[in-house]
Structure 1
Amino acid sequence: MGAPRRVVRRDPATEVRLFWAALPTEGRWLLSTVAIQTLGRGLTLPFTLIYLHEVRGFELGLSGTLMALIAVVGFAVTAPGGALVDRYGARAVLLVGLVAMIAGNLTLAFATTPAVAALALVLIGFNFGVSWPAFNALIAAVVTGELRQQYFGINFALVNLGIGVGGVIGGLFADVDRPGTFTAIFVGDALTGLVPLALLLGPLRHVHGRAGVPEDGSAPVSVGYLTILRQPAVRWLTLLTFVGTFIGYGQHEAGFPGFARQAAEVSTRTVGLAFAVNTAVIVILQFSVLNRIKGHLRTRVMIAMAAVWAVAWGLLGLAGIVPGGAVAVAGVLAYMGVFALGETLLQPTVPAMANDLATDHTRGRYNAITAAAFQGGAVAGPVVAGFLLEHDLAAAYIALMVAGCVAIALMALVLERHVPAAANGRPTAPEPVR
């Protein structure tokens, strides 16, 4: 992964203590509540479609269309959200998004008509679209330097932990024969939103995440999205993010489960267990991986991630060659475990690079571009997967995923030629004091 700087390797426990000690107080507050915030999302994420169709009695096609509102609205508001972050600050945008999320979940908990459910899902999608660039910008405003890459990685592990635990609790508690249990989990999701709300109104009320006025008193230069996208490094990072999401997260909701059931012919229990394996690997390995990639070029870490994902897709393809037996089950589970290892390489690098490319006055827009690329890949992924699997093109599906991994590696090499050294994880030596 490139010629690394000399880095002292320590055991994970020591690294955790040193990382926590190095964090500013605001960073500790942000990180300490992540798992609680996302636990509520885990309560409802796997069960929203079931709730709409089996509990509220909406037709399956209508329920799917309603669910799509989250992604569509999120994509539509991402760019305006990034601009608002740069103008009013990340904290202000996060507060608005959290209020929308709480209102959306409370509305959905008692929605008995498609119109009311649609309103609720629009509010949830609005929060999804504006909170991503705002939250990443707030992190970047609080945590700087090499700590930023570690922070994004650990934050990702805690998000997975919260969603995973929430999913287990929701699965044990929710019962379609008792509609009140579904009302309870959506109310629970809303209540967990009060944790970050209290954090932003309390200990973090002074961290606005907005760039200050230049020292010379002049107004900051307004930079639009087109200006930012004219930079080759931004364009290649955006394209890499889109392809990475298309062959990665964009397959989790449709492509992977569809292939596992149709081509590999494994049980739904195996599919559920595979997602548990994914969460466990991320939570267990993320800090060790952060320790290993410290000092390496981020573009080379991306290439390693692409290689790991190619192996993962190959394992899933093997499950489709020998369907219905122990080898298929092992291939499906191994796919999710190896894929998770690749995720631990991806998540610390892309957001850290995007924020290192940005200035304080453009951080919201840079994060919005990355978020839009992610959301675009998440929308396109299921569409392509559904078409290929519906037409019994399982082999072509796996081949396309592997080709995407090769494309990521090639794009990372091109990106390396354009991205500044500091944004690629290699800080330049400080100039001597004159």
Structure 2
Amino acid sequence: MSSSVTLRQFWAQLAPEGRWLLSTVAVQTLGRGLTLPFTVIYLHEVRGFSLDLAGTLMAFIAVVALLVTGPGGALTDRLGARRVLLASTTCQLVGCAVLAFATTPVVAVVAMAFLGINFGMSWPAFNALIAAVTTGEQRQQYFGINFALVNLGIGVGGIIGGLYADVSQPHTFTVIFLADAASMLVPIALLLGPLRHVTGQHAAPEDDDATSGSYLAILRTPAVIGMTGLTFIAVFLGYGQLEAGFPAFARQVGDVSTGVIGVAFAINTAVIVLLQFLVLRRIAGHRRTRVMLVMCAIWALSYVVLGATGLVPDRFAAVGVLTFMALFALGETMMQPTIPAITNDMAPDHLRGRYNAVNAGAFQAGAIGGPLFAGFVLDRGWATAYVAVLVAGCALIAVLALVVERLVSPAVNGVPDEQVPTADPATGEPAPQARTGRD
């Protein structure tokens, strides 16, 4: 698939199962958008939980997700992606329904546990299912378009939820959480209907060493080590700051209003939805690791712009905050298609669940560590050091991308026709000739 492929051509070339899976993404995530921005508000202002308890409950989701990611990856390989995704989506439905009526902390903990199970187990299963219905460049295109549709659904859901939910009328929050639960019926219906034959399960080769499928063996693979480190740092510096560091910096240092921050997040969604496919066409056929170098440069520039908001008058600070978010979103459109595509192309079919679980674990760890870092540094007023660390971190991602480039085959890196010396991802030793197939 070349860079000249249009959205219509991509859709026409996609297998029917892929079309079913992609066509309902925005509908599924619209329910998530209804509740995601308002969960803490609901717990604190509607159910009367303290902010400390509400924050702890939100963090509990991430902890549970991290704990179940490993088992989720193994179950995906053993039982198939469809079965695991069906179970995890059901957990999401139950969690949202329970949370809608969570009047006590104990009930809220039960609800958060179900939500955490879904977040931890669905990631490796969903990525493995995508890999089962796509190949090659189409896979990268799919991951990117899926990301844009997820943002579209969450963005629209957030707008609807913001207009409907009212803390003075608790029943409105019950309605949006039940709507979130009901939206899970869409993927469940797909998995039980049109996608019932797509298992995402593959038998191990007859000559496969039983120990090669363990997480310890996978984590000893040089390419996996490189991608795990790259993913962790990218999320630590990216989404970990977007959710915590950016709003805190914009308020405390840039001194902008909450309204400006809200507009910034709207710009983030708009840039991703409007530019994702254009970016996909531009990066098609190029080394994925080089795409990440461009992402690093854009993110570094965005953080410099954010840092400058503390040095200019308020009206210019607002412009800087909005510019930061637009640049950051552009970088996201390069990160989201490349990392999962590399992960799934270098994974053997029968171990794809575990490979995705390792990558998901790195993502979740970065999402946990990023806000902790931001809170610690900004609470002490170290604004300059904060920006300096983020810019330096972008340089570190670039270095890791170049390391990964030497460890994966050209095919895994998105250029199957290129013949360059590479290294065996299992040993790290130089290979006599570049491979053109999957690792």
Smaller-chain TM-score range? over 0.9
Partner residue, 1:39: 30
Separation of aligned partners in 2, 1:68 and 1:339: 24
Q: How does 1:5-154 map to 2 (within 5 A)?
A: 9-10=3-4, 15-154=6-145
Q: Using the aligned pairs only, state the percent identity.
A: 63
| 8 A contact 1:40–1:190 mirrored in 2 | yes
Q: Which of residues 247, 253, 275 in structure 1 aligns to 2:243? A: 253
Summarize the Cα distance change of 1:378–1:139 in structure 2 as closer, same or farther, 3 Å threshold: same
Match of 1:4 in 2: none
1:67 and 1:121 in contact (8 A); partners too = yes
Supply the distance in 1 between the matched residues of 2:273 and 2:55 (Cα, whole angstroms).
30
User: Structure 2 vs 1, CA of residues 242 and 219 (structure 1 numbering), >3 Å: closer, same or farther?
Assistant: closer
Q: Does 1:372 align with 2:361?
A: yes
**Number of residue pairs the alignment of both structures matches:** 419
SS in 1 for 2:201: coil
User: Match for 2:300 among 307, 310, 318?
Assistant: 310
Confirm or deny that 1:421 pairs with 2:426.
no
Pairwise CA distance, 1:9: 4.9
Question: Are 1:220 and 1:361, in contact at CA under 8 Å, matched by a contact in 2?
Answer: no
Cα deviation for residue 426 of structure 1 reads 1.4
State TM-score, norm by structure 1. 0.94
Q: Which amino acid aligns with 1:196?
A: P
With structure 2 as the length reference, what TM-score do the two structures score?
0.93
How far apart are 1:221 and its partner, in Å?
3.8
Question: For 1:33-432, what aligned pairs fall within 5 Å after superposition?
Answer: 33-212=24-203, 214=205, 221=210, 223-323=213-313, 325-428=314-417
Amino acid at match of 1:111: A
Deviation string 1:347-382 (CA, Å, 9 cap, x unpaired) is 110000000010111000000011000000000000
CA distance in 2, matches of 1:59, 1:35: 33
How far off is 1:8 after superposition? 5.8
Query: Is the contact made by 1:213 and 1:220 (CA closer than 8 Å) also made in structure 2?
Result: no
Distance 2:219 2:132 in 1: 22
C-alpha distance in 1, partners of 2:79/2:225?
26
Say whether the 8 Å CA contact 2:3–2:284 is kept in structure 1.
no
Q: CA deviation at 1:329?
A: 0.3
| Aligned mates of 2:119, 2:372 — CA distance in 1 | 21
Alpha carbons of structure 1 residues 370 and 267: separation in structure 2 relative to 1, 3 Å: same
* 1:265-311 superposed Cα distances (whole Å, 9 cap, x missing partner): 10101001000000000000000000000111011001110000001
By how many angstroms is 1:146 displaced?
A: 1.1
Structure 1 residues 138-162: Cα deviation after superposition (integer angstroms, max 9, x where no partner): 0001111110000000000000000
**Counterpart Cα distance in 1 of 2:217 and 2:252:** 46
Q: Deviations over 1:29-71 (max 9, x none)?
A: 0000000011111111110000000000011101111111110
Q: Which amino acid aligns with 2:322?
A: L
For 1:74 and 1:403, locate their aligned partners in 2 and report how far apart those are by CA, in whole Å.
29
- Please say if residues 410 and 416 of structure 2, whose CA atoms lie closer than 8 Å, have aligned partners that are also in contact: yes
Work out the CA distance in 2 between the residues paired with 1:76 and 1:377: 14
Deviation at 1:321, TM superposition (A): 1.6
